[in-house]
Structure 1
């Protein structure tokens, strides 16, 4: 019989598909302090150098890109989009059709 401890394995996040030939280039920009609170709805696996987060706030959705190298983290954000457009961008990033 499984214990509750064994059922709660650590969640590492989603692994991205490889970037596809001719994938869309996201217009990444430096983050600006626009709101007090942002909710991270999903994220990719922390085991990678680049980690993506699907973020939501004030009725808008955007993607954060964290690039980690040599103890330094550089953060970029996609444009803030309406939910349907933001979810489409998130899906494209996960499937390798956008970077």
Structure 2
């Protein structure tokens, strides 16, 4: 698995990424993308990671939940959470798996 550096502090926490993602892909495909991110967490994640779903590409990754909290204040501890990220808009939203 490849590790990459990512600065969450440059991003703004919002509440509109999920609705926009559903509008763009539809309910079924957006839910499938979230399930795939949660599957990645189940297969390769640890207690200190959160799955990340990039909304422009539907790419998925794992990120440190501690780093996320330190840089944004968002608490992603606990299961079933997915971080939606828009690199283009520099926005992020933490959601519960759907």
TM-score between the two structures when normalised by the length of structure 2: 0.31
Larger radius of gyration: 1
TM-score between the two structures when normalised by the length of structure 1: 0.31
**Larger helix proportion of the pair:** 2
